[in-house]
Amino acid sequence: MNDMTEVVLTYMEELDCARSLQVAILWRHREWKQLAQLRALPMHYRTATNYFDAVRASDFIRKSPSLETGIDRDEAARIKWFEAERANAKTNARFLNYVEGFYPDVDPRLVAFCDRVKRDISRLLGRLPDWITPRFGPGATVSDSSRVCTVPDKISSHPSITNSARTLLPLWRETYWGRVHHGRRSYEPTVVRGNIFFTVPKDGETDRACAKGPSINVAYQLAVSQETLRPALRKWGIDLLNAKDRHMGLARESSVTGHLATIDLSNASDMIARNVVKFLFPPVWFELLWMLCEKTTTFKGEGSSPDKTVFLEKFSAMGNGFTFEVETIIFAAIARACCVGREKEVAVNGDDIIVPTEHATEVVAALRWFGFIPNVKKTFLDGPFRESCGGDYWEGQAVRPHFLDKQFPSEPQHWISLANGLRRVAPECKKTWFRVLDRLPTRVRKLRGPEELGDLVIHDELCHWQTRTIDSIRYVRTYSPAHFLRVEWDRFMDVEQLATLTYGVVINPPPVLGHAPDESERFIVPRDGVTGYALGWVPFS
């Protein structure tokens, strides 16, 4: 905290606006809760300069979990989770008749609109896949803790599955993963009721609610996502792999022309009510997806408190392998049905929605009817500001601030990242930049280089780089990951190693011409497995 005080106060002094003065006063008086609740909204400012100064001051530290706000962030996430479930229960009750094909006292135009949405989704998805191959993500599951969740760990651990997904067991047994467990005493996967609730840091006011599901369910959810839903979305021109760049470009352009509006939804992933999906998706697709979904969430009790299990009103939880794709399909179909004749101008990436401005009010109303809640603070239907996928623009000018959304810096790599972020959004604040660099050891402070190398170097002019040339290749001196948590390859059985390799896992170190490392030298680095950094050289042309 002491290291940050000089940086924060210097930054606020250099920004020199009313909001930076407010932040400086709150910081000096240790009003952490007020800092976490401070906001700068575009509609409250008249120019890009005034807004950019204010938002750089407001957002610099407000998202950091290091702020000792006195707020129980885990409890805040739980309260928000249950609020979403109560809203989903109301939506499910409202859609019960629609699912059965009855539209009591509903405007015929609304019936026609819903039919248009349903037909669009049906044409998009087509027939069910003949075969899906399980895929492994980096996250924890019911069977695998976050510390041991590499692919071979997941293959070798005892698998888990919900009762509804057991239909897939004959398919699973034919996979390399299933064959690993064939013949073992505990061959059958453990049947569990559903997923387990947990939270991860989000900002100074609340954590983010997540859930870890059974390992087989999650693997097939990811398979459906990667092999069917994502390829299908490309028919609508939605490429989720590259959507961020497209959305940012559209947001920048429309902040100048005003021809597109950007819409954001509150808590969207937790607000997909079960009966909305059942109503909109073809029956065979709903059955496939619902079979793979967990039907309950368990909240682990603390101390002597018992566990609490809740039957879900939502269709799928955060942590489900296809939640993001399902919500993208629903939001895109609703938007397309509102923008007849201009469907190609609709862009959707999760709950980031971009539509023609003249149809935006209709899209917002339709989303509300399906139970979703537009975030009015982050939805822009007119004016000079647009925001989408991390890109904030005011009449074409980028006004996205740099903010600390993790703990305050403590290691050199953290200070390098902060220095680079400030240089990008506040190049005029030289004094603050040097204050950040003062926190670095002298030898690390000298590691300057190009932006293309990311946070391996401090971004600076070419004349300050440390370089050397070997065999006509130029190398730049960097501060790079050098020490890792290692999952030793030779601790897995041959059949587990074979299964792991079939799923395309990279084993370190890679083979070198003339030298093939034996198994005792091979290892896998888990997610967030970097444990140390060191000075090194990286080629750069």
Rounded-to-integer distance, Cα 264 and Cα 255, Å? 16
Distance from C-alpha of 58 to C-alpha of 40, rounded to nearest angstrom:
6
Helix (H, G, I), strand (E, B) or coil at 448: strand
pLDDT, one tens digit for every residue, the chain (541 residues)? 678 999 999 999 999 999 999 999 999 999 999 999 999 999 999 999 999 999 999 999 999 989 999 999 999 999 999 999 999 999 999 999 999 888 877 788 899 999 999 999 999 999 999 889 999 998 899 998 887 888 999 999 999 999 999 999 999 999 999 989 886 766 789 999 999 999 988 888 999 999 999 999 999 999 999 999 999 999 999 999 999 999 999 999 999 999 999 999 999 999 999 999 999 999 999 999 999 999 999 999 887 788 899 999 999 988 899 999 999 999 999 999 999 999 999 999 999 999 999 999 999 999 999 999 999 999 999 999 999 999 999 999 999 999 998 889 999 999 999 999 999 999 999 999 999 999 999 999 999 999 999 999 999 998 899 999 998 899 999 999 888 788 888 888 888 888 888 888 878 766 554 555 565 668 888 877 888 999 999 998 7
* pLDDT at residue number 391: 96
Residue 42 has what pLDDT?
Answer: 96
Dihedral sign of CA atoms 511, 515, 518, 522 in order:
negative
Nearest to 64 by CA among 210, 199, 202, 198: 202
Buried b (16+ CB within 10 A) or exposed e, 172-209: beebbbbebbeeeeeeebeebbbbbbbbebbbbbbbeb
Distance CA 206, CA 222 (A): 28
| DSSP state string for 273-342 | BHHHHHHHS-HHHHHHHHHHS-SEEEEPP-TTPPPEEEE-SBSS-BTBTTHHHHHHHHHHHHHHHHSTT-
Q: Which amino acid is at 316?
A: S
pLDDT value for 295: 96
Q: Where do the domains of the chain lie?
A: 2-62+397-431, 443-539
Give the tokens for residue 355: 């539509």
300 touches 195 (CB < 8 A): no
Q: Quickly count: other Cβ atoms within 10 Å of residue 96's Cβ.
A: 13
Smallest CA-to-CA distance from 279 within 110, 504, 153 is with 110
Please list, in sequence order, all residues whose beta carbon lies within 8 angstroms of the beta carbon of residue 441, skipping any fewer than 6 positions away: 412
Q: What is the C-alpha separation between 95 and 90, in angstroms, rounded?
A: 9
Say what the pLDDT of residue 184 is: 74
**Tokens of residue 392, six digits:** 């904030």
Query: Please, which residues bridge with residue 386 across strands?
Result: 393
